Amino acid sequence: MSRKGKAVIAVSSLLLILLIIWAVTNIPAIPEDISVPLDKRVVNFDGNSISEEKDGRVLWTINAEKIEMDIDTKNAALINVKAIFNFEDGRTLELTAAKANYEDKTSHLVIEDGVNGKSSDGGRFSCKEIEWLPSEDILVMKGEASLEYDKEQVKASADRIESSDGFRKFKATGKAHFEKGN
């Protein structure tokens, strides 16, 4: 082998070694700021809804601007929500709020961050949070809860107001105040 051939092999070997060293030292690092845990699988929906049924009747429907659902647990976080609860007597209760959380396993629903609403029979409602307890079939308003029916001249406020019939009949607890007109 000539000197020129040996020089070409030496230079080629040196370049190959440098290329391997460069490739190994320049492997990108895994970013430390990962917003979603690696073990959590999530799917996002824009402008969608979820609902709950019992005995063929829709109990409630929630329309949301954005829904983030865990694929494994089917729990959902909803943003900018409009919820409609349907009662056996045909009345409805429509609520709006900044967010809601739904737990699929128990059908537990919490609507929160400034809940405001109205019922089809003229009632107006507001609270910090409203919770659907499916095991008892009741709605619970929590935190500065208030309701008002102009036609019946009824006003109530409390820390907690709960009802199983859309707040036609209700139980108020904690700093409760009640007014009834004529």
What pLDDT is attached to residue 140? 93
Predicted local confidence at residue 39, as pLDDT: 63
In a domain, 10, yes or no: no
pLDDT value of residue 135: 86
Residues 64/44, Cβ–Cβ less than 8 Å? no
What H or E segment, with its residue span, contains residue 92? strand 92-103
The one-character DSSP state at 33 is -
**CATH number assigned to the domain comprising residue 99:** 2.60.450.10
Token pair listed for 44: 């996002």
Q: Is residue 168 part of a domain?
A: yes
At residue 165, the pLDDT reads 83
pLDDT in tens, the chain (182 residues): 788 888 888 888 888 888 888 887 877 666 665 455 556 788 888 888 888 888 888 999 999 999 999 988 889 999 999 999 998 888 899 999 999 999 988 888 999 999 999 999 888 999 999 999 888 889 999 999 999 988 888 899 999 999 888 888 888 988 888 888 76
Is 25 a domain residue? no
pLDDT at 31: 60
What residues contact 138, with CB distance under 8 A and at least 6 apart? 132, 162, 163, 164
Give a yes or no: residue 90 inside a domain. yes
Give the number of domains in the chain: 1
Whole-prediction pTM value?
A: 0.72
Range of the domain at 69: 42-180
In a domain, 8, yes or no: no
pLDDT score at 29? 67
Residue type, 34: I
Secondary structure tally for the chain: helices H, strands E = 1, 10
Residue 5: inside a domain: no
Q: Tell me if 65 is assigned to some domain.
A: yes
pLDDT in the model for residue 143: 92
Q: Is 6 part of any domain?
A: no
